[in-house]
Amino acid sequence: MQVIQQTFQVQYSYGIHFTEGLFNTNNTLLPDLLKKDGSLGPRKLLFVLDSGVAAAHPTLQQDIKAFSEHYSQVLTAASDFIIIPGGEEAKNDPKYLQQILDAVNDHGICRHSYLVAIGGGAILDLAGFAAAISHRGIRHIRIPTTVLSQNDSGVGVKNSVNAFQKKNFLGTFAPPFAVLNDYHFLTTLEDRDWRSGISEAIKVALIKDAAFYDEIKTNAAKLVARDKAAMDSLIFRCAELHVAHIGGKDPFEMGSSRPLDFGHWAAHKLEQLTNYELRHGEAVAIGIALDVTYSMLSGRLSEQDWENVLALLVELGFDLYVPELSQTISETNQTLCISVGLREFREHLGGQLTIMLLNKIGEGEEVHQMDDAMVKKAVALLAQRYSKAPVIH
Amino acid sequence: MQVIQQTFQVQYSYGIHFTEGLFNTNNTLLPDLLKKDGSLGPRKLLFVLDSGVAAAHPTLQQDIKAFSEHYSQVLTAASDFIIIPGGEEAKNDPKYLQQILDAVNDHGICRHSYLVAIGGGAILDLAGFAAAISHRGIRHIRIPTTVLSQNDSGVGVKNSVNAFQKKNFLGTFAPPFAVLNDYHFLTTLEDRDWRSGISEAIKVALIKDAAFYDEIKTNAAKLVARDKAAMDSLIFRCAELHVAHIGGKDPFEMGSSRPLDFGHWAAHKLEQLTNYELRHGEAVAIGIALDVTYSMLSGRLSEQDWENVLALLVELGFDLYVPELSQTISETNQTLCISVGLREFREHLGGQLTIMLLNKIGEGEEVHQMDDAMVKKAVALLAQRYSKAPVIH
């Protein structure tokens, strides 16, 4: 029996650039990057905008047009802007994906043109997916506008939409051409969105970098007060840790290990159970609270570290309990819905269940089993401390 | 301004295995391959079958079930088979993609499970796309059942469906887990499908391997007579040349060079213009005839080589002219529809127009411009020689 063996490597490279006022005509970051792509004439850029960002920055479209005219040798912005409501709805309703694909077709966007997405994590996930499957991959530039997308979701290689009421059921791994983090977009965020992304920084600090955790702790009051320098530093270090991890052993997650998903198994389910009323970052804060509590109850984490983490989350303004955390399948089946979510999480990832727990601040440990009874105990503990309403039984 | 630079490589590896009777319980190829994936228990396999293959091999589903029971330690076939009509319709109608995604969800197929597709190129393209976007990529095994898919489309890294009436508008690059070429499936092919895939072997021989071209020429009568040894040899060498090219400089086609698309720019448009009445391989034969004629008319290719290629295509039974080749946009706009297709082809690939022409048998040359008038002249020459009906004006 004959075999032909195929083996090859694909090299990926992109920068996460930090700037302010990306579309000021005196800011040459974008044209400078585009000039490196080897194309001769001006490149076509099709812009997808988060409607929330478009509303908060009413001159944005005008600024981009003026920018495009100023740098007309290098780039041409497509005449239409694709404006899509931000948040999870963008990933839930297939019409938004179709809207972007229609525009890719209408504007003749090819593999050497660019789909540029400006918005929060949901818009970036959606636009990234549209870019990844159009013509087998058109170039994609991400301009994240929230703390969460600038320090975590926007700097990575994943994209997705939801299907079958499951988060990220459809998607690919597709590195962007570039990520452009513009602090200016953070200035108009609601407090809720400003805070939300901080949980991902706490997450990555807890499993990888105790010094970074201490920095967040020290800066907590400043972060609450929306101090620019404190947030700049948090976003940069958090992005750096995510980038280093992704560029490490398994960028496209072919194995079972997923340390960056610390606190996420419950978070994903809570987002769904609350009909996405909870922001991702808010759900992650609760997920972290749950997993540090489980880590403490199972004897891994000291009570002191446990209290330390909960106190930081509370200081930053996160709620650490929602009634959906205690929701069970039915009156007769008292299995927690989040435990069902754990099984769905494994199915999405595939392979062996692999969950990160905490040994101490800055050091995680992967386990391959979660004890349902102990999860219940952890939930009860959080309910007792942080519930604002009678617990659902 | 700060920058975080992300750089990583992803390594891909898979085999194209040649066998006969893949689902005979004494054939250990498939379980042997699965055992290497690092999983512990039996892996879930969800099968997608080309309805034509299912009809021509009425015991296939039964055989797979028996095979799955025999190797139950290693694999479990999902209880349902997803049966989809073969041919381009599978890629045109979005309901078939949805049908596979539904099954992936219903059967809990995860990233460490397998979607196994058995069929011609269209079914493999469709199933490959479904696998690539489910859970950001579930494992995919291809079992190509036509000459074309065993020697060309099935051994590569592309998948796709059609959209906006454009071929392969949606798709990704996603290497399979393995390709299993089973000669047994070729024995039930119609003559038309047996012949169709030979054009891809001629294509790759013409641009890369004069000795292989000579072999095809020598074996032409045997190939027409459906000689197994001649076909085995043709498929193996053709697959080998494709695999070597794909594993070379640019597996995911980030640049503009696409030598394996020799003869394809007109072929894609002809498939569409004939409502996919023409098989892909048949359209490629006409596309090759057109491009060697253009190569001859533009002074690249000798008349002797030109005649040689046309004679081989005719000997194998290919038609070298269809009226759609001469079709113009309208009475008043005498631009050929295939010239419009050339622009669409560039848009799909992106970047600079790059078309392979022929200098001599075994040696291609890329050009970045096609002269519309000379294309018309080449079409007229083919019409004069090979038209079976009055030419459309």
Give the model's pLDDT for residue A217: 98
Nearest C-alpha neighbor of A195 from the set A379, A113, A318, A76: A318
Which residue in the set B7, B16, B132 is minimally distant from A4, CB to CB? B16
Q: Cβ separation of A350 and B10 shorter than 8 Å? A: no
Check: CATH 3.40.50.2300 for B16-188? no
Nearest C-alpha neighbor of B383 from the set B319, B331, B328, B329: B319
User: Residue A58 half-sphere exposure, CB side, CA atoms within 13 Å?
Assistant: 0
Give the model's pLDDT for residue B209: 97
Name the pLDDT band for B375 (thresholds 50, 70, 90). very high
Give the model's pLDDT for residue A392: 54
Question: Which of A1, A5, A8, A243 would best serve as a mutation to test chain B binding (most B beta carbons within 10 A)?
Answer: A8
Q: Cβ separation of B7 and A12 shorter than 8 Å? A: yes
Chain A, nearest residue to B343 by Cα: A108
Average confidence (pLDDT) over B65-73: 98
Nearest C-alpha neighbor of A29 from the set A236, A180, A184: A180
Instruction: Give the ipTM.
Output: 0.93
Write down the residue that tokens 């694709």 correspond to: A82
Q: How far apart are the first and last CA of chain B?
A: 62
- Distance between B26 CA and the closest CA of chain A, angstroms: 14
Give the model's pLDDT for residue B151: 96
Give the model's pLDDT for residue A249: 84
Spell out the SS3 assignment of B214-243. HHHHHCHHHHHCCCHHHHHHHHHHHHHHHH
Quote the percentage of chain B above a pLDDT of 90: 87
Report the SS3 class of residue B91.
helix
Which residue in the set B110, B134, B348 is minimally distant from A110, CB to CB? B348
Which residue in the set A16, A40, A256 is minimally distant from B6, CB to CB? A16
Which residue in the set B2, B6, B252 is minimally distant from A236, CB to CB? B2
CATH number of A254-386: 1.20.1090.10
Q: Taking the C-alpha atoms of A318, A319, A324 and A326 in order, what is their torsion angle to the nearest 10 degrees? A: 120
CATH number of B194-225+250-386: 1.20.1090.10
Q: Cβ separation of B39 and A351 shorter than 8 Å? A: yes
**Would you give per-residue pLDDT tens digits along chain A (393 residues)?**
799 999 999 999 999 999 999 999 999 999 999 999 988 889 999 999 999 999 999 999 999 999 999 999 999 999 999 999 999 999 999 999 999 999 999 999 998 899 999 999 999 999 999 999 999 999 999 999 999 999 999 999 999 999 998 889 999 999 999 999 999 999 999 999 999 999 999 999 999 999 999 999 999 999 999 999 999 999 999 999 999 999 988 898 888 778 888 999 999 999 999 999 999 999 999 999 999 999 999 999 999 999 999 999 999 999 999 999 999 999 999 999 999 999 888 877 777 789 999 999 999 999 999 999 999 999 999 999 999 866 555
Average confidence (pLDDT) over B40-45: 90
Rounded CA-CA distance A175/A189 in Å is: 26
Give the model's pLDDT for residue B262: 93
Name the token pair of B337. 């529809």
Rounded CA-CA distance B293/B283 in Å is: 15
Q: Cβ separation of B134 and A349 shorter than 8 Å? A: no
Q: Cβ separation of B256 and A16 shorter than 8 Å? A: no
Q: How far is CA A115 from each of CA A33, A45, A109, A124, B29, rounded to the nearest angstrom? A: 15, 6, 8, 11, 43
Give the model's pLDDT for residue B121: 95
Which residue in the set A132, A163, A251 is minimally distant from B10, CB to CB? A251
Rounded CA-CA distance A294/A281 in Å is: 20
Give the model's pLDDT for residue A116: 98
Name the pLDDT band for B392 (thresholds 50, 70, 90). low
Name the pLDDT band for B148 (thresholds 50, 70, 90). very high
Report the SS3 class of residue B213.
helix
Name the pLDDT band for B343 (thresholds 50, 70, 90). confident
Give the model's pLDDT for residue A390: 60
Contacts of B201 (CB under 8 A, 6+ apart): B151, B152, B212, B216, B234, B235, B237, B238
Q: Which residues of B touch A11 (CB under 8 A)?
A: 7-9
- Distance between B112 CA and the closest CA of chain A, angstroms: 5
Tell me the torsion sign for CA atoms A296, A298, A301, A302: positive
Q: Tell me the Cα Rg of chain A.
A: 21
**Domain ranges in chain B?**
16-188, 194-225+250-386
Rounded CA-CA distance A387/A325 in Å is: 10
- Distance between A36 CA and the closest CA of chain B, angstroms: 14
Residues B18-41: tens digit of each pLDDT: 999 999 999 999 999 999 998 888
Name the pLDDT band for B393 (thresholds 50, 70, 90). low
Rounded CA-CA distance B343/B375 in Å is: 14
Answer whether B123's CB lies under 8 Å from B50's CB.
Answer: yes
Q: Cβ separation of A7 and B9 shorter than 8 Å? A: no
Name the pLDDT band for B232 (thresholds 50, 70, 90). very high
Q: Which residues of A touch B13 (CB under 8 A)?
A: 5-7
Give the model's pLDDT for residue A344: 83
Q: Which residues of B touch A173 (CB under 8 A)?
A: 136-137
Chain B, nearest residue to A343 by Cα: B108
Rounded CA-CA distance B358/B261 in Å is: 12
Residues B197-223: tens digit of each pLDDT: 999 999 999 999 999 999 999 999 999
Answer whether B114's CB lies under 8 Å from B45's CB.
Answer: yes
- Distance between B145 CA and the closest CA of chain A, angstroms: 17
Q: How far apart are the first and last CA of chain A?
A: 62
Q: Cβ separation of A11 and B14 shorter than 8 Å? A: no
Rounded CA-CA distance B362/B380 in Å is: 26
Rounded CA-CA distance A94/A378 in Å is: 37
- Distance between A389 CA and the closest CA of chain B, angstroms: 36
Give the model's pLDDT for residue A389: 67
Contacts of A15 (CB under 8 A, 6+ apart): A33, A178, A179, B3, B4, B5, B6
Write down the residue that tokens 């740098």 correspond to: A71
What average pLDDT is seen over chain B?
A: 94
Q: Cβ separation of B349 and A111 shorter than 8 Å? A: yes
Q: Which residues of B touch A160 (CB under 8 A)?
A: 136
Give the model's pLDDT for residue A261: 87
